[in-house]
Amino acid sequence: MSEMPHIPPASSSGIADGWPGEGVIFPVTGIDLRVLPGPHPVIAQHGPDIAQNWEREHAANPALFNGEMVLQHRLTVRSGTIVGEGYLAPYAAFLWWRSAARPPVACHLAAVPVIETSDGAVIAVRMGAHTANPGKIYCAAGSIDASDLVEDARGLVCDVPGNMRREVLEETGLDIGEAVPGPFEALQMSGSATLFRRLRFAETSASILSRIARHVETADDDEIDGAVAIFDADPQAHNYQPFMRVILAHIFGRHR
């Protein structure tokens, strides 16, 4: 049996207490992702490095947009509830964090809707050449941003279902309100958390792919350059993001 990764105490930043081991999927019973006022601590600690890295990234890919997104500072799990403390931060801060071996001053949470079809496929998209993940294949999803925040008695909180619906609609033209949703599940890998749920459409994979292809042809941007239907957990079948391999193994069973 391999050792469990080190889990920082609750007082630290990053992926903190309550998470199971690397890549272990578990059921999520609640989501409480708070967005705090003020700048993210990563800005105060690494501002010049973030700026320099952005100059490099943007020079290499001028299509990148330095908009605001929610970058987490601390993520914990308490009795099945994911509890987060994050801040609105420029996309440049996330790109620096990702390139700097993911220091624990920050962590990232992706909300990923896993689209399933009536013939048993998982539908994923291939990211366009001008994006930060060119050629990578994963389920249509994107960063939580200011448009995905709602206010309650304690302040701003992330609307995860709203983010999922917006991102899928923007990227594929599909409305996940048409699908039957499953429960939320999650995993963590290398300082990033993936919160996902399976959404079953009544249509076949061929029908869903055709709908996405029509959307891509008429979309204003080229964030994605197509979609694929996945029927097994073969980790080498496509150029997957690492979390996708874990989710597909969970859905289809480990590839042999």
What is the full per-residue pLDDT of the chain (256 aa) written as tens digits? 333 233 333 335 699 899 999 999 999 999 999 999 999 999 999 999 999 999 999 999 999 999 999 999 999 999 999 999 999 999 999 999 999 999 999 999 999 999 999 999 999 999 998 888 999 999 999 999 999 999 999 899 999 999 999 999 999 999 999 999 999 999 999 999 999 999 999 999 999 999 999 999 988 777 889 999 999 999 999 999 999 999 999 999 965 4
pTM above 0.85, yes or no: yes
CB-based contacts of 197-201 (< 8 A; 24+ apart in sequence): 197/113, 197/114, 197/164, 198/114, 198/116, 198/251, 199/113, 199/114, 199/115, 199/116, 200/116, 200/117, 200/118, 201/115, 201/116, 201/117, 201/118, 201/174
Q: Would you call 101 exposed, middle or buried from its count of C-beta atoms within 10 A (0-12, 13-18, 19+)?
A: exposed
